Amino acid sequence: MAVLGTPQGSTVQQRERIDKTRLSVSKPPEGATDAERFLPMLDRQIARRGVPPRQTAADGGYASRDNLKQAKARGVQDVAFHKKCGIAVADMVKSQWVYRRLRNFRAGVEAGISVLKRAYGGARCAWRGLDHFKAYIWSAVVAHNLMLFARLKSP
Convert the pLDDT of each residue in 89-140 to its tens digit. Answer: 898 999 999 999 998 888 888 887 788 888 887 777 777 887 888 888 888 8
Strands 55-58 and 78-81: parallel
Strands 78-81 and 2-5: unpaired
DSSP track, 61-119: GG--HHHHHHHHHTT-SEEEESS-TT--HHHHSS-HHHHHHHHHHHHHHHHHHHHHHHH
Residues 6/134, Cβ–Cβ less than 8 Å: no
> What pLDDT score was predicted for residue 29?
67
> For 50-55, what is the mean pLDDT?
89
Q: Which has the higher per-residue pLDDT, 103 or 10?
A: 103
Signed CA dihedral, 94, 96, 98, 104: sign only: positive
pLDDT at 2 over 70: no
Secondary element (H or E) of residue 123: none
Residue 154: DSSP 8-state: P
SS3 143: helix
Neighbours of 51 (CB within 10 A): 8
Write down the pTM of the prediction: 0.67
